[in-house]
Structure 1
């Protein structure tokens, strides 16, 4: 990958002599070549969209929680909704990558995303799911003894079930299996 003279493009368009010359210049170990090939393959598959666009109604993306201080300092650790710890610099690099769509939840003042839907909608909205991930208690399933991350469970009406007149309001919803 560091060879500016290495041929690029589809294999059907490759010049056999150029490929052979590039292979002779390649100083990577077999393990590093395998790693680079696998990484390129995964990148192509992810960018192609062939794996789908949603997971449990959420866009497929990394959702992290961190403090404003760590984000501004560009140092520290962020936590994903499944509990993985990521260095802030990696989070910033992922967010800056081409084609990434970001959501930023800042608590203090409200935004224009409706979080109180009352009886107008039964299922939690994308905005409610994302806000829940960042709220206290919103990272894990609320069922006693369950340790499933909120990204792997559904949002449920906590105070009163929907069938009994419950509201689809952010303060009435909890992640649960």
Structure 2
């Protein structure tokens, strides 16, 4: 097979893999009932005038399945951490005991579970759109290379096989996450 076509196939596969990676990162943020330090990964705290990720200024742990504890390295940052968690729209109500911030993760209601599944499905669909646009881009690049018609058709078939493979991976990832969310 032509070297340029091989390069295009590799680039297309990489773009599709990036869509899967992005989907996995987004799905980690969707909580499925159990407390996890990654739930606070998007929280940014005003740290002496700089917006800093919470994990860079404190230890974030889960002492049990329903609690997240945030122990800042500087105790005077506790009010800013509480404010940042409240402002992050995660639905958490932080409390502090003077030493650390404690967050009780409420159990999910059936309605909230359905909303989270809907959100997970939307993320999966975004990943599929990214995969399809990688396919479209790959096919366009193969046509632009100007190889023989047979080589072009073979490359398009290979790109379609990649698309099918990555789309089914998205479906499997979504299936697992959906089961995790709906499990009471």
Normalising by structure 2, we get a TM-score of: 0.23
Q: Identify, as 1 or 2, the structure richer in helix.
A: 2
- Greater RCO, 1 or 2 (C-alpha within 8 Å, sep 6+): 2
Normalising by structure 1, we get a TM-score of: 0.23
